[in-house]
Amino acid sequence: MKEWIRLLTKGDMFLILAMIVLSVASLVIIRRSQTSGRSAVITVDGIERERLALSRDRELTVSGPIGETVVKVEDNRIRVLHSDCAAKVCVKTGQIHLNGQMIVCVPNKVVISITAYHQRSIDVVTE
Amino acid sequence: MNRSSKIVWLSLFIALGLIIFMFESYIPRPLPWLKPGLANIASLLALYFFGFQSAMLVIVLRVILGSLLLGSFLNPAFLLSMSGGISATLVMAFMLKYCSRFFSIVGISISGAVVHNIVQLILVMLFIVNQYTILYLMPVMILSSLFSGTIVAVISHFLIERLKSVHPIQPKAG
């Protein structure tokens, strides 16, 4: 079993150490900069569908290309209760509440992300 | 080595990758968007024994066959794993050819795993999520690639050693 440790060259060790240092450092920076969000934005295929305050508990359904995604807001957190997709990655992601956290359902093209503010950033776009 | 035994070996590698891939997609994982990527053993073996073109063939066929078995052919998840697999193989082939003085199979496999994850995350950001905050997942993905890349490398290393003694195929490199 020790045989493979002798495989490691100096380059390997340097690569592994550099990756560990970089990712641990950025994890710390990210965690420190994240605060609890105040609202959640739900987009389907890049188009904003709902913008909800996390302070009010509710349950709602959005429909995407392959079916419905049921979302629940509770205790200032949001999660996906049910989705018509096969892998259920969105359901297994669980609840989120920090700014920048998101739940992504690739098959149904639903993205739920947490933001700090409850206003729309752009009122209207004219072309 | 003649052409037909090369075809046989490559088919074995594809079958190996396919079995690991199918098995992997059914075992429960702590983080649903993270997969160990052990199927990379197949393309790594092809790369070491037959070179870049064969490794590319193995990864492309493995992804296509795997998606047909899982029913995800041509959907976004399929396109993600195809682009991740191709870019990882490109990087591993490059490193094997030009940097094998500095890196062993461990370093090469880890770079493949890291590139696979980074490419997929960037594609998800550009085409699905449209928000840069998804990149916050990058550190977790890189840490897990270090772990899985090492496991893949160790398994491949022992497989290469055994295969060398079983059959007169000799690694092109390493």
Contact A20 B146 (CB under 8 A): yes
Nearest to B63 by CA among B78, B53, B44, B46: B78
**What pLDDT sits at residue A21?**
96
Most B-contacting residue of A1, A9, A121 (CB-CB within 10 A), to test interface: A9
**Cβ atoms within 10 A of the Cβ of A52, count?**
17
**What pLDDT sits at residue B77?**
85
**What pLDDT sits at residue B167?**
67
Question: Is the Cβ of A28 closer than 8 Å to some Cβ of chain B?
Answer: no
Question: What is the ipTM score, two decimals?
Answer: 0.85
Question: Is the Cβ of A101 closer than 8 Å to some Cβ of chain B?
Answer: yes
Q: Name the residue in chain B with its Cα closest to that of A98.
A: B133
**What pLDDT sits at residue B72?**
85
Q: B156: part of which helix (H) or strand (E)?
A: helix B138-166
Q: Answer whether residue B116 shows pLDDT above 90.
A: yes
Helix, strand, or coil (residue B161): helix
**What pLDDT sits at residue B54?**
95
> Mean of the pLDDT values across residues B35-64?
93
pLDDT tens digits along B123-163: 989 988 777 878 888 999 999 999 999 999 999 999 998 88
> Mean of the pLDDT values across residues B107-130?
92
> Mean of the pLDDT values across residues B43-51?
93
**What pLDDT sits at residue A117?**
65
The answer to whether B24 touches A87, Cβ cutoff 8 Å, is no
Q: Name the residue in chain B with its Cα closest to that of A13.
A: B107
Q: Rounded mean pLDDT of chain B?
A: 89
The answer to whether B152 touches B109, Cβ cutoff 8 Å, is yes
pLDDT band at B59 (very low <50, low <70, confident <90, very high): very high
pLDDT band at B87 (very low <50, low <70, confident <90, very high): very high
Cross-chain CB nearest to A11 (options B72, B102, B158): B102
Helix, strand, or coil (residue B103): coil
Residues of B with CB under 8 A from a CB of A: 32-33, 71-72, 75-77, 80, 99, 102-107, 110-111, 114, 124, 128-131, 133-134, 136, 138-140, 142-143, 146, 150, 153-154, 157-158
**What pLDDT sits at residue A24?**
94
What is the rounded CA–CA span in Å between residue A116 and residue A118? Answer: 7
Using DSSP bridges, classify how beta strands A68-74 and A77-83 pair: parallel, antiparallel or unpaired. antiparallel
What is the rounded CA–CA span in Å between residue A67 and residue A84? Answer: 5
Q: Name the residue in chain B with its Cα closest to that of A90.
A: B32
pLDDT tens digits along A29-56: 988 888 888 889 999 988 888 888 888 8
Cross-chain CB nearest to B107 (options A15, A30, A102): A15
pLDDT tens digits along A66-117: 899 999 999 889 999 999 888 888 898 889 988 888 898 888 889 998 887 6
CA-based radius of gyration for chain A: 20
Which two three-digit tokens encode residue A53? 């305050």
What is the rounded CA–CA span in Å between residue B47 and residue B88? Answer: 12
